[in-house]
Structure 1
């Protein structure tokens, strides 16, 4: 009887001792934290979003890259708060993907940094180097898996994503190009301006003869910029004359270096098997679907994998549709889930 009692006590003690080792791992709630990294002498500030995960777990992670102009880490341009990238970060978080978004040069807390006293020296390669430093910062975060990194770029950020994906180490497992700049910058500008003159004719603001004259002046301005000759603005409406004057002035170095990149050429450097999503919205007047055709072909030749190009019915450049004017359209969320949920 005594020995049976001892056996029961020993078995109970063993069970109690084993309980902590068998307890469920600790669940870490979703959280944002500020990240700072330095590139070319400039402290760059960003937000790391880490979704809910198990303690010690390494997560897939994506670098988010903003569009052109003064677009900050959240994907907003003052004074509006579009929050395009912040909303994309939230969507990816539902698939347990950590994200890093940052204030690029000229925006948010980063500002112009080392270019404060000579902003005219800021060129497109500087933004690419900044994005590369951000990728390396994301790679080194304790919650991220360096073997499962992705790059997600919106608009001009899509072109930057392509450039990064072919050069960084480790190579990203996936690249998402959301309404990307898929042709040369000045070709895209000319396309947009020609569309505006056609709309002006439709509204009765210009005659067809005036449209022909303005379109010819736009094409001549692009040719002059690429030849580094002064632009003749006499045939342009005031707003367009001001735009092309700026392209030759303080923004000249950036415009020239951005326009030098033809995005389909960059696809050849992607690692075969890289998972790629390329979206285009049928209501996107800034980056029409037709502009992505050459890039789509180049991605196929580079032996990338799906989802590939996904047309988004009724979606505009900021990823909205008529029923969702302030949040990503369901078609966008579905495409992101197909890409990141794989």
Structure 2
């Protein structure tokens, strides 16, 4: 019995030695992508207007389907690259490049009033454009992206910056196919006019601190702003008495050809909208501690629904405090984790 035991042990030791002496199996080297990264100029028609955009397809193996993201710009005349005439941070261009490194296809487009698209069918009647027109435009872009043959239809995302985040939420509620995730980067997290009024109050307070305005005029201006907001929401003519000239000019613009757009976007309450997302939709909300336009405390109600990632030292344009002009590493890390969850 002892001899048999010794034999079994010897065989085990010998087997171990042979295994240890054998050269390790060499891992197969990854093959290089067979299709290089490319930008495609694309277009689609919605409400009688041709919208133009850029579809970026990262380097990939032929026949492989990939994740995708529709990128939506912030407020005002912000084009497909995240730029305006006087401000060109290339926010969405940089984000598309970052997604490409993740192997994610992206689509960005010139919304109404920007780039090659312009106002399209609304050029002769700009006062008739409303926020829903922008939502329909984004929804059409989403369906175009999801229908591409290189896209995994189960892994299509919506990522919006600032006002574009609200549009991402609107599209995601009814998107077909269902969006896998919604990224809200420095989002419009409260009703439009509430955010505007808070920004104006902050600017008036800063003017007092700088000695440019006294307290009585500050209080009078704040009351005037509140009245103007109430008038816009009640569809009444607005008065600008008691406002500093720049604030009065702003409200005259809001009550002009843009009034229908302002009233319709202000009617959307972001937190209530987020509660309507299909079950299982993954979400990302970022806010920057150096963002005066959408401070983190302005996102609290929306964050209670979708969660929040705080970006230290990052401002509204999401750039790196140590390297202005490039997207903050903390933002890119948050997007990376969102897409890889």
TM-score (norm 1): 0.89
Hey, what's the Cα distance between the residues in 2 that align with 1:182 and 1:309? 12
C-alpha RMSD of matched pairs (Å): 1.3
The alpha carbon displacement at 1:241 in A equals 0.7
The separation in 1 between residues aligned to 2:211 and 2:333, in whole angstroms, is: 40
The corresponding residue for 1:133 is 140
Q: Which residue of 1 aligns with 2:315?
A: 316
Does structure 1 residue 339 correspond to structure 2 residue 325? Answer: no
Q: Distance in 2 between matches of 1:144 and 1:253?
A: 36
Match of 1:262 among 264, 269, 284: 269
CA shift for structure 1 position 114: 0.7
How far apart, in 2, do the equivalents of 1:76 and 1:336 lie?
20
- 1:164 pairs with one of 171, 195, 199: 171
Check conservation: 1:281, 1:317, Cα contact below 8 A: yes
Q: Residue 41 of structure 1 aligns with which residue?
A: 48
Q: Which moved more, 1:185-194 or 1:218-227?
A: 218-227
1:62 maps to 2:61:
no
Q: Determine the structure 2 residue equivalent to 1:205.
A: 212
Whether the aligned pair in 1 keeps the contact of 2:254 and 2:262 (CA below 8 Å) is yes
- Name which of 236, 239, 247 aligns with 2:243: 236
The Cα shift of 1:271 comes to: 1.7
Residue by residue, what CA displacement relative to the aligned partner does 1:154-196 show, whole Å, maximum 9, x if unpaired?
0000001111111111111111000000100000000000000
Q: Is the 8 A contact 2:217 2:242 kept in 1?
A: no
Instruction: Return closer, same or farther for 1:24/1:201 CA change in 2, 3 Å cut-off.
Output: closer
Q: Quote the residue 1:154 is aligned against.
A: 161
Aligned counterpart, 1:11? none
Per-residue CA distance 1:91-118 (angstroms, 9 max, x = gap): 1111111000000000000011111111
- 1:321, distance to aligned residue in structure 2 (A): 3.6
| Deviation by residue 1:61-103 (Cα, 9 ceiling, x = unmatched) | 0000011100000010113321111111111111111000000
- Report what 2:285 is aligned to: 278
Larger radius of gyration: 2
Q: CA deviation digits over 1:108-150, x for unaligned, max 9?
A: 0001111111111111000000000000010111211111100
Q: TM-score normalized by structure 2? A: 0.89
Give unmatched runs, 5+ long, in structure 2.
1-29
Partner of 1:7: none
CA distance in structure 1 between the aligned counterparts of 2:243 and 2:318, rounded to whole angstroms? 31
Give distance in 1, aligned partners of 2:164 and 2:45.
Answer: 20
For 2:100 and 2:149, how far apart are their aligned partners in 1? 17
User: How many angstroms apart in 2 are the aligned matches of 1:172 and 1:242?
Assistant: 40
Contact 1:25/1:55, CA 8 A, preserved across alignment:
no
Instruction: Give the whole-Å Cα distance in 2 for the aligned partners of 1:118 and 1:252.
Output: 13
Deviations 1:258-312 (A, max 9, x none): 000001111122122211110001111111111111111123xxxxxxxx31001
- Are 1:178 and 2:185 counterparts? yes
Picking from 245, 248, 251, the partner of 2:252 is 245
Write out the 4+ residue segments of structure 1 that deviate beyond 2 Å after TM superposition.
23-26
The structure-2 alpha-carbon separation of the partners of 1:27 and 1:256, relative to structure 1 and needing over 3 Å to count, comes to same
